[in-house]
């Protein structure tokens, strides 16, 4: 399994070696979960492995610059808008919500999105232009109906 970031694909280790590196705090947190003691030893071990993987993912994320993570999310919003615009019957209201969200993030972080800022701004302009073109086409088709 891999995770896409603006710096490229990064492999995510989904296998555990059966010896998860849990701190005492994490072990205590697991034991406090209602029903944890009712799990079979195998299920408890699986829960420990999942907690260890989550802790490792959180650690990796904490080492990634926030601008990169935000850029990844902004591009996800771009994709959401594109999905709504490219439907057989475009959902303009939902696309507009996504485009407005993307615009709001970009506008509020001017100069702080790092090396990806120009790519994000270009993507925003492209999706805004697509929205206008599809809206115009939709309005034109509606006005031509008898």
| Domain edges within the chain | 2-62, 66-144
Q: What is the pLDDT of residue 13?
A: 54
CA distance 21 to 12: 17
Name the β-bridge partners of 8.
5
Those residues with Cβ within 8 angstroms of residue 107's Cβ, 6 or more apart along the chain or in another chain: none
At 48-103, the pLDDT tens digits run: 888 889 999 999 999 999 999 999 999 999 999 999 999 999 999 999 999 999 99
Interval 37-42 mean pLDDT: 87
Q: What's the pLDDT at 3?
A: 55
Contacts of 81 (CB under 8 A, 6+ apart): 95, 98, 99, 102, 127, 131
CA 121 to chain CA centroid, Å, is 18
3-state secondary structure 48-81: HHHHHHHHHHHHHHHCCCHHHHHHHHHHHHHHHH
pLDDT of residue 28: 67
Q: Supply the pLDDT for residue 11.
A: 62
CA 104, CA 127: separation in Å to the nearest integer? Answer: 14
Q: Which of the pair, 9 or 116, is modelled with greater confidence?
A: 116
CA distance 141 to 59: 52
Q: Where are the alpha helices (DSSP H) in the chain?
A: 24-31, 41-62, 66-85, 92-108, 117-144
Going by pLDDT thresholds of 50, 70 and 90, the confidence category of residue 26 is low
Looking at residue 91, its pLDDT comes to 97
Q: What is the pLDDT of residue 133?
A: 96
pLDDT, mean over the chain: 84
pLDDT score at 4: 55
């Amino acid at each position: 399994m891999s995770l896409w970031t603006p710096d490229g694909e990064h492999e995510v280790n989904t296998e555990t070696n059966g010896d998860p590196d849990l701190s005492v705090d994490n072990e205590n947190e697991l034991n406090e979960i209602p029903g944890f003691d009712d799990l079979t030893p195998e299920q408890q071990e699986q829960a420990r492995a999942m907690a260890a993987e989550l802790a490792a993912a959180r650690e990796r994320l904490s080492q990634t610059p926030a601008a990169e993570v935000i850029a990844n999310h902004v591009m996800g919003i771009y994709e959401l808008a594109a999905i709504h615009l490219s439907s057989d019957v475009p959902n303009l209201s939902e696309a507009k919500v996504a485009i407005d969200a993307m615009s709001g993030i970009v506008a509020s972080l001017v100069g702080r999105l790092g090396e990806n800022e120009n790519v994000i701004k270009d993507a925003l302009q492209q999706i805004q232009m697509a929205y206008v073109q599809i809206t115009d086409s939709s309005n034109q088709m509606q006005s031509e109906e008898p």
